Amino acid sequence: MNSNEPHDQNDVTSNDRHPNIASTTTTRKGKRVKKIKRFLRNNCNKSRIILFHLFILMIAAIIVIIIFLLNNPSIFIRPHCKAPFGAASLNSTFNTLGQLETGMSYNSNNEYNVVNSLGFTGKYQFTEQTLKDLGYYTPKDNVYYKNGSDKNNWAGKFTGKNGCNSYQDFLDNKFNVQEIAIREEFQMDLRIINDTLPQNQSLDSFLNKPLKFTGCNISAGGVSLNNITLAGILAVAHLIGAANAAQALVSGNSPCDDMGTSITKYLTDFSECDFPAEQVTDAVNSFENNS
């Protein structure tokens, strides 16, 4: 309190239109401090209890946030695939793709029965068309998403391939059907990409190189990606179709996925994962040998 006195003097001079303000506030302050001190003396236990409750609430809030982040690691940080060349990269590609598709961490196991508002299904958000092309699903009356329907209705029949007899079997990931299907899809997409690319531009000619894109949601100057990998190309093929992915590579014109995300984003997500094409065949075979 003593140290306040000279300051109050200064305040009075600088505040000379209201010379009384400084001294009245000082006495009011003094009264208030006394009141608080008395309150604390009388209610010390009460305030300790309040503090204790606040502390418990804070701990609980921190625990809730940690659990939330563990279940949804991609809410603040976009998942990025990074693993040594080969089988580890291929495994990591599937897990990163699953996280990007569902927004869930890959060990949550709930990811297999995620269905979005357009009927995209499972860890990899499969469409009716993909499961039709892979021989798992026969659409009713040949109507399916983007072919007479504006969503995936799953009104057709499952064929029984790999023991998957119904939509529910597929959602349950029975006999690992979703994991087998994504590996078969990569294999199929490699074939489609190869068939779509012109004779003088093999898939290999695009790999492990920078590539510049213009296109959907890309700023005027275009965007330069520093490393195109097979992982990135197959992730994009899954998102926009293999033929469209091949055309994007050749033209340097990047489309968006159904959510308005430029495919260059996905190419960047997988720029540090890579594997040889034969690894995809090995992965398909390893699942077939196991079952």
Ligand X SMILES: *[C@@H]1O[C@H](CO)[C@@H](O)[C@H](O)[C@H]1NC(C)=O
User: Which residues 86-105 are close enough to bind ligand X by CB under 6 A?
Assistant: 87-88, 91
Place of tokens 């204790």: 52
3-state secondary structure of 45: helix
Q: Judged by CB under 6 A, does residue 229 bind ligand X?
A: yes
In whole angstroms, the minimum distance from the beta carbon of 108 to ligand X comes to 16
In whole angstroms, the minimum distance from the beta carbon of 168 to ligand X comes to 23
Per CB under 6 A, the segment of 23-31, 53-61, 167-175, 189-197 that binds ligand X is: 189-197
Say if CB 126 and CB 181 are below 8 A apart: yes
What is the total count of residues that contact ligand X (CB under 6 A)? Answer: 23
Q: Judged by CB under 6 A, does residue 85 bind ligand X?
A: yes
Q: Report the residue from 13, 107, 117, 200 that binds ligand X according to the rule CB under 6 A.
A: 200
Question: What does the CA dihedral 120, 126, 131, 136 come to, rounded to 10 degrees?
Answer: -90
The CA distance from 52 to 59, in Å, is: 11
Q: Report the residue from 4, 15, 23, 147 that binds ligand X according to the rule CB under 6 A.
A: 147
CB atoms within 10 A of CB 242: 24
3-state secondary structure of 205: helix
149 to 188: interface string for ligand X, x by CB under 6 A = ----------------------------------------
Q: Report the residue from 26, 138, 217, 281 that binds ligand X according to the rule CB under 6 A.
A: 217
The CA distance from 135 to 151, in Å, is: 20
User: Which residues 255-284 are close enough to bind ligand X by CB under 6 A?
Assistant: 256, 260, 272, 274
CB nearer to ligand X: pick between 30 and 148:
148
CB nearer to ligand X: pick between 216 and 284:
216
Say if CB 211 and CB 250 are below 8 A apart: no
Q: Is the dihedral of CA 193, 198, 204, 207 positive or negative?
A: negative
CB nearer to ligand X: pick between 6 and 210:
210
Say if CB 241 and CB 145 are below 8 A apart: no
The CA distance from 227 to 248, in Å, is: 15
Q: Report the residue from 216, 243, 281, 284 that binds ligand X according to the rule CB under 6 A.
A: 216
Q: Judged by CB under 6 A, does residue 198 bind ligand X?
A: yes
Per CB under 6 A, the segment of 18-26, 120-128, 141-149, 237-245 that binds ligand X is: 141-149
Fill in the DSSP letter of residue 161. G
The CA distance from 89 to 286, in Å, is: 16
Q: Which residues bind ligand X (CB under 6 A)?
A: 85, 87-88, 91, 142, 147-148, 191, 194-195, 198-201, 208, 216-217, 227, 229, 256, 260, 272, 274
